[in-house]
Structure 1
């Protein structure tokens, strides 16, 4: 199961809207927690159905017009049952369980108080929530607007040590531990250059030991910055080992490559120069084929992927002179590409008349039989390699 959370810094911006749709299309989360969306409740109705998430609970932002601030929302698919425990402008607290009832846990999204003189209210909220429910498997995630140590901040004024110490004490008293992460070290940046650049790890996920035992393979992945000063974070409770390229993307062999006369020669050349380890050889071969295909064919989806990879690489050098300007140029290019890319499937479905009757849906939604599985396997193409969802 995947949970995505993001301080999106307002959903009134078209770039942010496109970025969110692209995130959900690529990551396919089961649950989505949005912070600082700056939208009223009735304005969130358009997001119902995003990437199959037909359920939504939201808390309106404060203020109107350009003075809007805050606002949180939680969206989820029908794959899980979600029960709301409590909510406010700064949090949403749920019990999540699988449909078959085999697993359940508590999930709490936090949007920490951004004002310096109110930051203590964030850990007061944590203490209150810790004593509110007896569920031992607990995951707490979001933008806490606080760092745990000096190492989690780059540039700017030195962090207030007293605030950090109190934050650590509260986390410990709530029996929580930092889940760790993979990806960029900092989750927020002020988009300035040189000596004015400030970055910090303000967004994170805490879990109790019981939750960690429930999901021993779980990982927190820091995704790329785009359309917000905060990066999105993906919690994957069951990550799979795949052959991956730069930026963590899955590499797959495309059957259409075989129709090109250069492909066999390129494949042989890449395979012969590969490593001795079979896994490394396949991986390096696919990486080489992907590069060849980009040069040979080239299209908007591939250019989108390439731009994302470049952005991911530049994040590691953001403190160097001139890099932020390159990042902004690439972000503008990515936004143009997303705007010009083919219409999303869900947008097409909105204007296509439904041709599946209730009776037909009843048959399609029924339990699989051994005969159904056998027939499906025999209908597969010999070069097909479907995932767990087919």
Structure 2
């Protein structure tokens, strides 16, 4: 490995030599990048990466021991690194799965080493970066009846790191020469969603929103449904442009309040100061609603305050909602944005076609009524009761007919 890296001449590297049948480790980076090796062992290489446009952060290349009982010290070491540095990215072959869904074939029971790995990721607040491509990164390459597939390779990051690179994702490349598939970790902007439009909850707190909505609704009542919504959408877009976002409004009000408070108390316009403070509280509420709408977390009620963790949850959910691949009619996965849009349009066009009309007009069956009942119970009642009671009320029950 060292000989190969020296031959390239355009990379710097840190190598842990192989020991016996155990393979070694190598972490390489392009010359000119500011990278400092902090620590290393037979199972990891820890470096500090200092990009030009971001604060420094820690990258750890991880190799979990195939003898799983030896990994406890590794998770303890990773925990210490996270506690010491904050913005940390762990990537590599962890030789562990996080759940039974990450394994196909063989014994499906979770072992103690899997539970240790789960506890490590949960206690450290790590985020499992979402991936594109096949679900499994390793196989034992046996015949069909004895084949086992697992997701052993991944990227785990702390919330602080995710704040620096919210659009990062992992690409599982084809498994060709090895029993593992290579993983490609990329930082990429999401596809342009400038055409997307949604009503923002914080708009409801604007004084003129309700009148604007009612007037636009009445003015378009003679239009066909599709044209009506298109017209209202355009009107709402124009209205939104004329109103500051909660963040910009908070900045503007803070500057105005500061100017008033810089005046001598005897010369200060106290009525204006009070009015600005009221407007600031209103803008804070709008800002809370802005992030609440993006998180959709049951536990986040309107009175909760913004935190870095909350922003991380909202950012991660936005990444979760982003469709990067879809299976076409032939059963093949594709990541082409145009194909994804075309496939989604076709699916919903077929779903609401006249051929489906008979299903819509048919009376609901017993199972449909029961399902709707439990959906309403979970959505309307669930968030309003304690977590323990929520479990007993919404868990499946024996039906009395």
**Greater per-residue helix proportion:** 2
TM bucket (normalised to shorter chain) is 0.3 to 0.5
- For normalisation by structure 2, the TM-score amounts to 0.46
- For normalisation by structure 1, the TM-score amounts to 0.48
